[in-house]
Amino acid sequence: MITHETLKSLPAGVQAPPYDINGIKPGIVHFGVGNFFRAHEAFYVEQILKDDPNWGIIGVGLTGSDRSKKKAEEFKKQDCLFSLTETAPSGKSTVRVMGALRDYLLAPADPEAVLKHLADPGIRIVSMTITEGGYNINETTGEFDLENKAVQQDLKTPETPSTIFGYVVEGLRRRRDAGGKAFTIMSCDNLRHNGNVARKAFLGYAKARDPELAKWIEENATFPNGMVDRITPTVSADIAKKLNEASGLHDDLPLVAEDFHQWVLEDSFADGRPALEKAGVQFVGDVTDYEHVKIRMLNAGHIMLCFPAVLAGFENVDHALADPDLRRILENFLNKDVIPTLKAPPGMTLEGYRDSVISRFSNPAMADQTLRISGDGSSKIQVFWTETVRKAFEGKRDLSRIAFGMASYLEMLRGKDETGGTYEPFEPTFGDNHKTLAKADDFESALKLPAFDAWRDLETSGLNNKVVELRKIIREKGVKAALPA
Ligand code: NAD
């Protein structure tokens, strides 16, 4: 266990918080205290607390599940301290104990404590990592889903909420009634224009609750867009044991992340912000180009590597990348399909970014799983590949690698790899009709799946014929026989 006491005698090589923990005042409330938040936002804030102690973070968990209760107990026992091991692809590691998280509240156990913090003028930012699906946007309408049962309940009893929308808007209501300022609502989820998505969600709820309050929020709160990046894997009990053995700590909440980290953020804050630029955050007027580069190179490359890797029987991303054929498909995809149709934002080169992505994927300390990366492939293809595919059609460019990626994805959905292993593909958006199409033995039915929807309006028979041809080769001769030149 790590506590204030153990901070006085940390093992050699472990960095302690470089400030007086007792002098930190809360300035941020964060919803969704998962591993990514701890390795990213908390890591950046950690570095500025020495100069400005007004930005300590209060973490909030919204679910009352046994897992959440256990996490809350562990945070309390450790005074919310935890260690972060940052590991480079070379294997070189640094370990620090972080103190930026100053309290952790389980909302169902004490909702009023959460609301008091949200109403406190000292809290100037409310941030969140609640996953891509956490914003309750209806996929068909593109609007905030007011039919959601928990949302409907919050609208009936808005002063005793249970959803993040209910809490945040009730907190803002109290601030407005007290004549105070609004806070910044800062999404750190991996979404394109995450601030705009958050704006739609919170204002969608607020308008249904009270249009005047919604107007006040619209005029006073801000929702900066941000591009967030740091590969932060799940920590199994086995990995936790190894991390503690290496650090010499007895941490119940150890964390590992790659040494790379990036946060590009719009400088739009309602009531001030920490000087995060001192910790390396890039403040820009528009994050769009940065988002494009990350999504079309890192995220798109990840699935281009992992779909065939799953079929070939590779469990870990770094092992897949060590295979020369799989490495070649990733490199050719980035070099020939993505880079020529992408614009580099200021201060970045696409070739430099490509090299860093390949080096990051090869990091053995992440032990990242090919099945995890391939999961929800249907949504990922639509978000990560669409622009590259449409640009290939527009420019009459070579579609052979896209066809190979799609064929690998469709064969992967059948749940069998080439070593005889079986697995259950994770496709959370699939209904029964999709599952039937995905498991069909023929090569054409699966062309109707939503993964193809984003370019269905174009003349795609050439691509589709190639996908069918490559699927046959994969099924008969294996995925490597289908690799494009
Ligand atoms: P995690 O499972 O460790 O944490 C997710 C947290 O969100 C948990 O605390 C969970 O209780 C909470 N949560 C989930 N759904 C919620 C909801 N509807 N309302 C409120 N809280 C909810 O996952 P993580 O690795 O921390 O990733 C979280 C998010 O961070 C991802 O979805 C992604 O958008 C972003 N991200 C992660 C990585 C990474 O490498 N892990 C990298 C970039 C961005």
Q: Quick one: pLDDT band at residue 429, thresholds 50, 70, 90?
A: confident
Residue 229 domain-assigned (yes or no):
yes
Residue nearest to atom 12 of ligand 1 (CA): 32
Residue 264 domain-assigned (yes or no):
yes
Q: Is the pLDDT of residue 236 over 90?
A: no
Residue nearest to atom 29 of ligand 1 (CA): 131
The 10s digit of each residue's pLDDT in 351-397 is: 999 999 999 999 998 888 899 899 999 988 988 999 999 999 999 99
**Tokens 């929807």 appear where?**
453
Residue 411 · residue 425 · CB < 8 Å: no
Residue 434 domain-assigned (yes or no):
yes
Are residues 293 and 257 part of one domain? no
Higher pLDDT, 307 or 141: 307
Q: Does the beta carbon of 108 lie inside 6 Å of ligand 1?
A: no
Closest CA relative to residue 363, chosen from 233, 188, 190: 233
Q: Does the beta carbon of 131 lie inside 6 Å of ligand 1?
A: yes
How far is Cα 125 from Cα 122, in angstroms, rounded to an integer?
A: 9
Residue 240 domain-assigned (yes or no):
yes
* 461 Cα: distance to centroid of ligand 1 (angstroms): 38
Q: Does the beta carbon of 190 lie inside 6 Å of ligand 1?
A: yes
- Taking residue 97's Cβ as centre, other Cβ atoms within 10 Å add up to 21
The 10s digit of each residue's pLDDT in 262-317 is: 999 999 999 999 999 999 999 999 999 999 999 999 999 999 999 999 999 999 99
* CATH number of the structural domain spanning residue 56: 3.40.50.720
H/E segment holding residue 303: helix 300-312
Higher pLDDT, 142 or 93: 93
Residue nearest to atom 20 of ligand 1 (CA): 130
The 10s digit of each residue's pLDDT in 163-183 is: 999 999 999 999 999 999 999
* 188 Cα: distance to centroid of ligand 1 (angstroms): 9
Are residues 151 and 80 part of one domain? yes
Residue 277 domain-assigned (yes or no):
yes
How far is Cα 396 from Cα 3, in angstroms, rounded to an integer?
A: 61
Q: Does the beta carbon of 194 lie inside 6 Å of ligand 1?
A: no
* CATH number of the structural domain spanning residue 337: 1.10.1040.10
Closest CA relative to residue 248, chosen from 23, 13, 459, 431: 13
Residue 1 domain-assigned (yes or no):
no
Are residues 174 and 29 part of one domain? yes
Are residues 302 and 242 part of one domain? no
**Tokens 């930005």 appear where?**
55
* 40 Cα: distance to centroid of ligand 1 (angstroms): 12
* 35 Cα: distance to centroid of ligand 1 (angstroms): 7
- Taking residue 433's Cβ as centre, other Cβ atoms within 10 Å add up to 10
Are residues 335 and 218 part of one domain? no
Q: Does the beta carbon of 376 lie inside 6 Å of ligand 1?
A: no
The total number of structural domains in the chain stands at 2
Tokens of 186: 């800062």
> Where among 235, 267, 284 does a domain terminate?
284
How far is Cα 18 from Cα 440, in angstroms, rounded to an integer?
A: 58
Residue nearest to atom 31 of ligand 1 (CA): 131
> Where among 284, 304, 337 does a domain terminate?
284
- Residues 476-483: what's their mean pLDDT? 98
CA angle 105, 54, 33 (to 5 degrees): 30
Residue 444 domain-assigned (yes or no):
yes
Ligand 1 atom index nearest CA of 230: 42
- Residues 329-335: what's their mean pLDDT? 98
* 453 Cα: distance to centroid of ligand 1 (angstroms): 27
- Residues 154-162: what's their mean pLDDT? 98
Tokens of 284: 């820009």
Residue 354 · residue 360 · CB < 8 Å: no
Q: Say what the pLDDT of residue 108 is.
A: 96
CA dihedral 341, 320, 430, 202 (to 10 degrees): -60
Determine how β-strand 82-87 pairs with β-strand 101-106: unpaired
Q: Say what the pLDDT of residue 142 is.
A: 84
Q: What percent of the chain has pLDDT over 70?
A: 100
Q: Does the beta carbon of 253 lie inside 6 Å of ligand 1?
A: no
Residue 173 domain-assigned (yes or no):
yes
How far is Cα 407 from Cα 308, in angstroms, rounded to an integer?
A: 9
**Tokens 């941030």 appear where?**
127
Q: Is the pLDDT of residue 344 over 80?
A: yes
Q: Say what the pLDDT of residue 139 is.
A: 67
Residue nearest to atom 22 of ligand 1 (CA): 130
Q: Does the beta carbon of 368 lie inside 6 Å of ligand 1?
A: no
Are residues 329 and 260 part of one domain? no
Determine how β-strand 26-31 pairs with β-strand 82-87: unpaired
Are residues 308 and 278 part of one domain? no
Task: Output the 3-class SS for 454-476.
Answer: HHCCCCCHHHHHHHHHHHHHHHH
How far is Cα 398 from Cα 338, in angstroms, rounded to an integer?
A: 12
Ligand 1 atom index nearest CA of 33: 9
- Residues 250-257: what's their mean pLDDT? 96
Are residues 459 and 368 part of one domain? yes
Ligand 1 atom index nearest CA of 229: 43
Q: Does the beta carbon of 164 lie inside 6 Å of ligand 1?
A: yes
Are residues 351 and 231 part of one domain? no
392-400's contacts with Cβ under 8 Å and 24+ in sequence apart are 392/337, 392/341, 393/455, 393/458, 393/459, 393/460, 395/341, 397/337, 397/340, 397/341, 398/336, 398/337, 399/462, 399/463, 399/466, 400/466, 400/484, 400/485
> Where among 246, 261, 284 does a domain terminate?
284
- Residues 43-69: what's their mean pLDDT? 95
How far is Cα 417 from Cα 235, in angstroms, rounded to an integer?
A: 26
CA 330, 336, 337, 341 torsion-angle sign: positive
CA atoms within 13 A on the CB side of 5: 4
- Residues 336-349: what's their mean pLDDT? 94
Q: Quick one: pLDDT band at residue 347, thresholds 50, 70, 90?
A: confident
Cα–Cα distances in angstroms (integers) from residue 214 to residues 120, 203, 225, in the given order: 19, 6, 20
Are residues 346 and 218 part of one domain? no
Are residues 128 and 19 part of one domain? yes
Q: Does the beta carbon of 63 lie inside 6 Å of ligand 1?
A: yes
Are residues 272 and 142 part of one domain? yes
Domain hosting residue 271, numbered range: 6-284
DSSP letter string over 356-385?
A: HHHHHHT-GGG--BHHHHHTTHHHHHHHHT
